Amino acid sequence: MYMYLLFLLLLLPCLALSAWASARVRSTYSKYDAVPTRSCMTGYDAATRLMRNRGVDDIVVNRIEGKLTDHYHPGKHQVNLSMSTYGSVSVAAVAVAAHEVGHVMQNHTGYLPYKIRNVLVPITNVGSRLALPLIIVGLLLDIFWTTAPHPYGQWAVYAGIALYGLSTLFLLVTLPVEFNASRRAKKMLTEDGILTAEELPAAGKVLSAAALTYVASLLVSLVYFLRFALVLASLVRKD
């Protein structure tokens, strides 16, 4: 009982941080989506210019449905920009577009954390908003631990904890990848004259807010992984 209460005491602040981070992303993006860039470049314009100026000519920039659904698909050689980014001339839009180009450059330069994350993707099959799915998996493992027949339940728990650990590792590797892509984005935006020095802090706020969601997801995952690691230690002691 003591360990479960400790688990809840650790988990609840992480859940609160995750909810706050998600709300902050939306509010920050909305705020700076209303601020047009002085260059009057759209998200599409920014992405294509940044890649062209760096000799990248094998990536297609597409428009996809949704808001803040932007992502880079290396296997298909696509930068997919959401409806809210593709045609917008806002500071927020070009910041997000440049961030995705940052991932493109990570791929082209062989950035090691990015390569590691790509190896983990087929195994974990997880995205940027992982807090809720990971919590659900954790609850299911908790239930399975107490109801499944011995020894099959134990084997399932072993496998579940191992897979959960891979998801946590994915999130851990994702942090330097995302922070590095944002640093690249800010540097490229000023180098190519898409944003002025005065506009750059606003772009930085948009990118920082997005990065915070990854931090929150990692903290939630770490708390759950700690709980299941303790369950595993208890199982080993009993055997």
Instruction: Say if residue 129's pLDDT is above 50.
Output: no
Residue 169 lies in a domain: yes
Across 14-23, 89-98, 157-166, 208-217, the highest mean pLDDT is recorded for 89-98
Mean pLDDT rounded to a whole number for the chain: 84
Catalytic residues: 100
Count of other CB atoms within 10 angstroms of residue 26: 12
Q: Is 231 exposed, middle or buried (0-12, 13-18, 19+ CB in 10 A)?
A: middle
Amino acid at the residue 210: A
Residue 113 lies in a domain: yes
Instruction: Say if residue 127's pLDDT is above 60.
Output: no
Do 130 and 222 contact (CB within 8 A), yes or no?
no
pLDDT of residue 168: 84
The H-or-E segment that residue 80 falls in is strand 78-82
Please provide the DSSP assignment of 172-231 as one string: HHHHHHHHHHHHHHHHHHHHTTSS-TTTHHHHHHHHHHHHHHHHHHHHHHHHHHHHHHHH
Structure confidence by residue, pLDDT tens digits, 63-110: 999 988 999 999 999 999 999 999 999 999 999 999 999 999 999 999
Residue 70 lies in a domain: no
Domain holding 11, by residue range, is 2-38+98-238
Residue 21 lies in a domain: yes
pTM for this entry: 0.82
Query: What is the number of domains present in the chain?
Result: 1
DSSP letter assigned to residue 36:
B
Residue 12 is encoded by which pair of tokens? 């609840």
**Helix 152-191, helix 131-147: angle, nearest 10:** 170
Nearest alpha carbon to residue 72 among 32, 105, 28: 105
pLDDT of residue 136: 55
Instruction: Say if residue 2's pLDDT is above 60.
Output: yes
Residue 50 is encoded by which pair of tokens? 């940044």
